[in-house]
Structure 1
């Protein structure tokens, strides 16, 4: 049975109230910032679908501004298109897996129904979509939400961040998909053998006063041996103590991979 969860900050803002929930293997952390620092609303959002039987997770994180309407619209749009997306994710991984996913996501965002609805909302949102299937992770990124991957082999080389933050990209009233050439980024990575820790976050975590988590090594330094739930609790407590104003939403989970990843030919 598929597990699913969605939320938008307009439903409950979690100001002064860090909250952690688990949806299958995914830990969801939500914090609307500190009221004493000026926070009085939360315009983040998230969507999670998990199919353990067919070995995949679909995770979306959103960071809207001006209002939460754009985040609400994106979540509603993808919820309505769920069956189409699931049809892509259920079959075994093939060489065109990433291309088919990208085509499907573009088809949704560029559809006239979505475009027209975006023209009518107040504000716009950054949007990061992450899919893990078998030993691969794929992402589709609009704007400045962040995706990290922690694995000991990669951490030893200083590699954590998968996507690049891009400012001035949104979905909503200002919409990248209204441009002559839509602007977004996408990518695919093979997970390494062993425990792979995926971590999505909005920018409240990395722009917290005092910069406790301004770089990914700081995020994972205190959490590599913790459960995802304990790690998110620690991160949330720290940014609350640092009087963060901006909201922070986190989706994180660990994936165990048994298949050996690519290694240089001279080391085989």
Structure 2
């Protein structure tokens, strides 16, 4: 590979080495996501937890509850929650992303937080959790509505009685009108990257291509996200034994609709 490639605009004009998602982008993930307001997102999640606590009158609202974050990535949300006193375990399928997460935890002197490498459909834990979170499109990576059903059953099994499960999904409206026009170029520590995003409406698949040029080599990751409807997702988690506390649209506390860009679901296993 020629080392003469110096401008991000060149990255989609050359042959690239195909690699799995998050293997090469992990090192620049936080730079790519620097516009995301993680503290604000966590504040919203904590408010959703408060809404759940009002519905579950027997639950304690103290912060030092056992919390599991699925698909925790580089730990941005897990670390904030750990600093707030939650006892956090983060699970992710990418060792490269978890390396970053562990490095940040060490720098922050958060020795209590634990990160585990595992696919979110096959994770094993002896612990039971008060709260399970799965955020930022992570469940959109599961292909097929049956995979969501498997995940919902698995989460139900690892929750304590009166446990709370909060997750979000990116919806078709977001793919049609926002993310499909996404085109980002950047550079960090000598690494160039270029992200392009496309929505295939016929298959309801949102694809993001990330090209990364580092040390004279060009890599490409293809991230596929699968779009589901509110009604089919609701049917699956109700079938898995969850009760719905709320489904909220677009970082509000208003009921979501099929036209929402993003929906946060707040569920409980209370019988």
Larger radius of gyration: 2
- Report the structure, 1 or 2, having the larger helix content: 2
Same fold judged by TM-score > 0.5? no
After TM superposition, the score normalised by the length of structure 1 is 0.29
After TM superposition, the score normalised by the length of structure 2 is 0.28
